[in-house]
Structure formats: structure tokens, C-alpha cells
Amino acid sequence: MGGNGATEANHAAITEAGMKPGTGAPFAAVLIANRGEIALRIARTVRAQGTRVIAVHHREDAAAPFVRFADEAVEITGPSPVAAYLDIGQIVAAARATGAEAVHPGYGFLAENADFAKAVEAAGMACIGPQPDVISLMGDKVRARAFVAERGFPVLPSAIEDDDPATFVERARAVGAPLLIKPAAGGGGKGMRIVRDLGTLETEIERGRSEGQRYFGDGRLYAERYVERPRHIEVQVLGDGQGGVVHFFERECSIQRRFQKLIEETPSPALDAAGRRAICEAAAGIARAVDYRNAGTIEFIYGQDGGFYFLEMNTRLQVEHPVTEMITGYDLVAEQLRVAAGAPLGYGQDAIPSHGHAIEFRLCAEDAARDFAPAIGDILLLRMPEGEGVRVDSGVAQGGAVSPAFDPMLAKIIVHGRDRTEAIERGVRALKETVLLGVTTNASFLRRIIEQPGFRAGETHTGFIAEHLDALIPPPPTPEQETLLIAATALAEPQIVAAAETVPDLHAAMGGWRNR
Amino acid sequence: MMDVFAIGENAIEAALVRREGFALLRGGAELPVRLEPADDGAFMLHAGGRTVRLFLARCGAETFIHMDGETFAVGWEDALTRLARAASGGHADVAIAPMPGTVISVGVEPGQAVARGAALMVIESMKLQTTISAGRDGVVQAVHFAADQTFDRGAVLVTLEAEGA
């Protein structure tokens, strides 16, 4: 595949910066229990340490770049391709059979599955992740939130009806307006009501209850402070499980569609130095409270007034970790492997710099003009951007197919600049240079997002895409563009060219005469 | 005779004609055009006085073009096929091969009633299997290729009985 030279160079530089001298490779062989871009990205670090790379893959991925990169690949099967990657028994068996000393679950699939972590450890291997009981605690959103609140970290003021149904209205009123009422059994925004005037609280609670009953067969409610035009800001942490915890600064991930992130950046344009320190130290404090081992991410909701509230903790490597690597120079996968092998961090907060600005774009096979419907097809031509300050973490290659079996994310394009303006300029150029023919992607949609004056001004919030949607959808080609497209199509189609060449001169002349 | 090019919802009539080189006729205007490969897999399109750099890939009757940082898909139907289709009374009477390939399996036989969208045949082109489905409700008149037979792009694979027949 073209365009990977810069990526490899970037990875090499990052790995060198991330590995502390004299540590050597933590494991002799690592099995990667994942697929796509993240499997390849993890494999590169594992390979750079001189460690054997073992891949597992479903038949559908047999020709994928991560499988071809691996030193050894084991086919796993399942009733569906996704089911194969969720099959703990097969993956642990593959790890044992290939002599793996550690298993890296990546993100998604088995990454936050305590049973998987236990099974890997019971088989005598290291699972690259936190202690299984920490996975369980943070995986239970209600327990995690209570744990964090008890230790004095900010959570959104809320009232859970189940705690004491008799006093629910009173407790909801005490949370204060604006207030979001949602069905306890809910999801996807159904039955959610925003209360701005507490005088209507009781009526709204009754309506919310009947909607919850109708949608979910469960009328129990939950009320929390509503944050208007919130930002999503999260903090990268790393712990060794031996008392050592540091943070690698924040990432802002407010640009989302369907509650999924599309663009992430660091630093957040919302934070000044004091605000940055406050949110990062809160995150490190939460990680310290569980004596966290592994790389992890603490997600916060950030209000227009500068208040921030704990949302959840992800106990794994995050999709958007590369922006953090770009500004700190650390290889987070190398750090994960080190602490999983039992090494102490060996450095403190002062060792982690923040240089410049980085932005990540998630290149997805989807049609923004059709409500982000997933797109499929063959990748006929692929040219990834390269050059200074550009990194590409890709899971696809020219000649490959995009099937509906998996997540539509194909690759991540990460840019770095001395400041946010330079990073945005590099992002615009990189997205223009991203050529993927045969499958509809969101490349130009992503570019138009960062071209919006609101984005350039740093006025991002989770409703940004919905608010600017009309300006982001690809416009139809202009008549001039149409003519160029038709000319290129005609000249590239041998049948059209042959037909034009065989038209006798007289007819050719007549055609010209007729049309003059 | 004009070919029809489909861009998005638009169907645009145009034709390539031979002059000194080639020219594109569209809407009564004539534009000299030339496409030359660049060294990195891109193409330079010379159109009138303009030169535009683009990437291009073809799949069946569809051409994908990356130009001005945007990606476009252009469909093409040649004039003869279009005439034949018009003469045969409608698109849905025949299932046409979108690309050259091999028949993997045939799911219907002559005389069989099918609903719009029903699978008629599975074909494989460029290692990709595609289901050929009925464009309308109807009765199968003929299946023109059997399993393992190969065909060219534009071949009529299955014919339905004419409507009202």
C-alpha cells in the first residue's frame, strides 16, 4: 500500500521516545485479540520491540494488512465474524498454542471483559489491561459513578428514583434546573425530557414515566443536571498498579455523530492552563483511587461554564490515543506492555511534555448524505496522505473489500502542528489528499467540519455536527465539475474511446457541424 | 448519438467525438479533452484551457473519480444499450451484467414467477459475489447463462416476460 512510509517512520520515532533505556522487550510473543487498524498499530510496536506478533483472524480478514504483518496468524471461527473475535475460548487456546506470553485486546471486542482478563491470566499469560476487579467496577456505570463521587470527584448532580421512590420529586428538584429526566431502563435518547422550569417538574416526570413505560416497559426514572451544549473532554492516564499514576493530558472529542466520535484533538481549545491542570489532576486522582494498572481514559462532560463532571472510565487503549502520542512523544502501547509485564512506571508527571497540537480524523465507510449509512464495496484505489506532521493508522489496503460485517472505521488520519491553526491546515491538506475510490467515505465531510469558522474558533460541542449539518454534506458537483467528470469517465472507458475512434471522418465532421 | 452519464440523481447526455484529438459534446458545446497519466497513478485531465489533476478507478459501469478533494461516482450507459433498453419496453425486463464475471448459481427457471427484488442469479466478478435480482414483479422468460459460464459486462443474464404478455 502506498503512503505508509511516513506512518512507519512516525511509529519508529514514537517507539524510540516511549521505550525507556534498558528495559528491553517485556514479552517474547504477544497475541493481538483484535482486527483492523488497531491490530496493525499494536503489532507495529510489538514488532519494534523485537517481539513475535501473533494475530487471530476470522476468514473474512484473511487478506487484511494486520494478518499479513503478523509473524503467525491463527484463524478463529464463529457464527458471525464479530462472534469469532468475541470467542474467549478460541482466543486463549490460540495464545497458548502459539506460545504467546501476553494478549493485547485492543479496544472494543474483549477489551473491557473481566472474564476474558481472568481467562488469560488463568492460562498463565498477561492480559494487557487493568486488574479484572477494576474492569468490573468501571464497567458498571452506576457503581463507578458512586465510587468516584464518594472520593470527592465531580459527578453530575443527580437523583435516582430507585434509591427512594417516595422522595424522588423532592430530590430531583434539589438537583436544580436545567434538569434532564430519563428512563432508568432507557437508551438512545428515547423518553428523555429537559426541564428548564422546575414549576413543570411534576408534569414532566409523569410524562417521562409514561414514555418510559411505553418504550421500555419500565416507568422508573433518573434525573440529572442537564449540561447545555456540552463538550466531551477526556484524560489519558497510565498506571503501573504499584502506586505509580500519571496523566498524558486531555483530548477533546466533542465532534460526534450518532453518539460516536469522529474528530478528536489535544489540547482542548476550551481549556486554559489552570483548567487543563484541574481536569487532568482529577483524572489522575480517580486512577490513583483504584491503583490503576494499564493505559486508561477518564471521560468528562464539560459545561460552557467550565464545570466538568465524571462520565465514565474506559479501562483500555482508546481509538483516539494517537493524538496523545503525537503531543507527548510516548508510545502508549509500549507503555501498556511494560506495566503489564510488572515494570514500575519509572517516571513522574514531569517527564511528560505537551508539544503543539494534534487532531485525529476517523475515516469511515459511510455516506454522510444518507444519515451516515454504512457503505460497502471494493477499495479500488487507495492513497493515504503523507508528509510532515501526518500519521496514518490504517487497517485497509488497496484491493481489499469493505464488508458490512464490521465497524465502518477504515483508518485514522492524525495530524500534528506547532499550534491548532497549523494542525487544522495540515488536516485540510491531508483530507484532500486522502484518496479512496470504490467505497463512499466521510473524508470530505471531515474536512468541511474543520473548515467551519465555528470549529476554527474552537466553539465545539457535542451538537456541532447536527447544528452545521447542511454545510457539511457533500454538495452536488457544479456544471463545470460535471463536464470534467464526464470527460474523464469517457476518456477512461475503452468502449467510449473505441466508439469515438471508429466514427468515420464524415460523421465526425457532421457531429461537429450539427453542434456548432 | 449521445451516451448517458449518471452523477448522483442527474442523468446527463454527452458524447465523446474525434477531432484532432478528442472533444466532449455536451449541451451544444464542444470541449477539447485529453487525459494523460501522471507518474504517481494520478491523471491530468486537459479540458479546454484547464488542466485538472485527478485519481480515477473503474468498476463495472461505474467510474470513481477523486477531484478537488471530493470523490464522485459517474455511471455510464452507452447509446446502443440505452436504445435497446428503450426498444425492449423498459429496464426491468432484463437483468444485465454490471461487470464481466462467472455465474455461481442460478436461482430461477423459465416460467417461474418472481417478485421485485427476488434473487435471480449469483455472479462473481473480481472475486466479489453479487446477487442479480429482479427489477420488477414478473415471470422469468429465459435464463441466458448456466452456472460456471462466463459473460461480459452488459450481457443480458435473465429476461422477464414482457409486462401484460
The tens digit of pLDDT for each residue in A49-84 reads: 999 999 999 999 999 999 999 999 999 999 999 999
- Nearest residue of B to residue A484, measured between CA atoms: B47
* A chain contacts of residue B23, beta-carbon cutoff 8 Å: 512
pLDDT tops 80 at residue B153: no
A358: helix, coil or strand?
strand
Smallest CA-to-CA distance from A436 within B47, B56, B110, B37 is with B56
Percentage of residues in chain B with pLDDT exceeding 70?
Answer: 84
Q: How far is CA B157 from CA B69, B103, B111, B116, B128, in A?
A: 38, 9, 15, 16, 17
* A chain contacts of residue B71, beta-carbon cutoff 8 Å: 435-437, 440-441, 443-444
If pLDDT is split at 50, 70 and 90, which confidence band does B128 have?
Answer: low
How far apart are alpha carbons A360 and A265 in whole angstroms?
A: 6
Cβ neighbourhood burial of A476 (10 Å; 0-12, 13-18, 19+): middle
- Interface residue A351 vs chain B (CB under 8 A): no
Which pLDDT value is given to residue B24?
97
Q: Which of A3-7, A461-465, B9-13 has the highest mean pLDDT?
A: A461-465
Kindly determine whether residue A481 and residue B67, on different chains, have CB atoms separated by under 8 Å: yes
Contact criterion met (CB below 8 Å) for B42 and B54: yes
Which pLDDT value is given to residue A450?
98
How far apart are alpha carbons B72 and B78 in whole angstroms?
A: 19
pLDDT tops 60 at residue A515: no
How far apart are alpha carbons B29 and B25 in whole angstroms?
A: 6
* B chain contacts of residue A511, beta-carbon cutoff 8 Å: 15, 17, 25
B138-143 and B113-114 beta bridge pairing: antiparallel
- Interface residue A349 vs chain B (CB under 8 A): no
Considering only residues B91 and A397, tell me which one the structure prediction assigns the higher pLDDT: A397
C-alpha torsion sign, points A102, A104, A105, A111 = positive
Smallest CA-to-CA distance from A260 within A409, A146, A136, A125 is with A409
The tens digit of pLDDT for each residue in A358-374 reads: 999 999 999 998 888 88
Considering only residues A8 and A28, tell me which one the structure prediction assigns the higher pLDDT: A28
Which pLDDT value is given to residue A513?
39
If pLDDT is split at 50, 70 and 90, which confidence band does A25 have?
Answer: confident
Q: Report ipTM (2 d.p.).
A: 0.85
Which pLDDT value is given to residue B126?
57
A341: helix, coil or strand?
coil
Computed over every residue of chain B, the mean pLDDT equals 85
pLDDT tops 90 at residue B83: no
Computed over every residue of chain A, the mean pLDDT equals 91
Q: What is the DSSP string of A286-319?
A: HHHHTT-EEEEEEEEEE-TTS-EEEEEEE-S--T
The residue among A437, A441, A503, A514 with the most chain B CBs within 10 A of its CB, best to mutate, is A437
Smallest CA-to-CA distance from A330 within A233, A426, A240, A237 is with A237
pLDDT tops 60 at residue A23: no
Which pLDDT value is given to residue A226?
92
Considering only residues A22 and A366, tell me which one the structure prediction assigns the higher pLDDT: A366
Considering only residues A104 and A405, tell me which one the structure prediction assigns the higher pLDDT: A104
Which pLDDT value is given to residue A192?
82
- Interface residue B53 vs chain A (CB under 8 A): no
pLDDT tops 50 at residue A382: yes
How far apart are alpha carbons A295 and A287 in whole angstroms?
A: 10
Q: Which of A136-145, A148-157, A397-406, B131-140 has the highest mean pLDDT?
A: A148-157
pTM: 0.82
Contact criterion met (CB below 8 Å) for A223 and A163: no
The tens digit of pLDDT for each residue in A409-419 reads: 999 999 999 99
* A chain contacts of residue B56, beta-carbon cutoff 8 Å: 381, 437, 488, 492
Kindly determine whether residue B26 and residue A516, on different chains, have CB atoms separated by under 8 Å: no
For chain B, the maximum distance between any two Cα atoms, rounded to a whole number of angstroms, is 57
Cβ neighbourhood burial of A316 (10 Å; 0-12, 13-18, 19+): buried
- Residues within 8 A of A (CB atoms), B 120-149 only: 126, 128
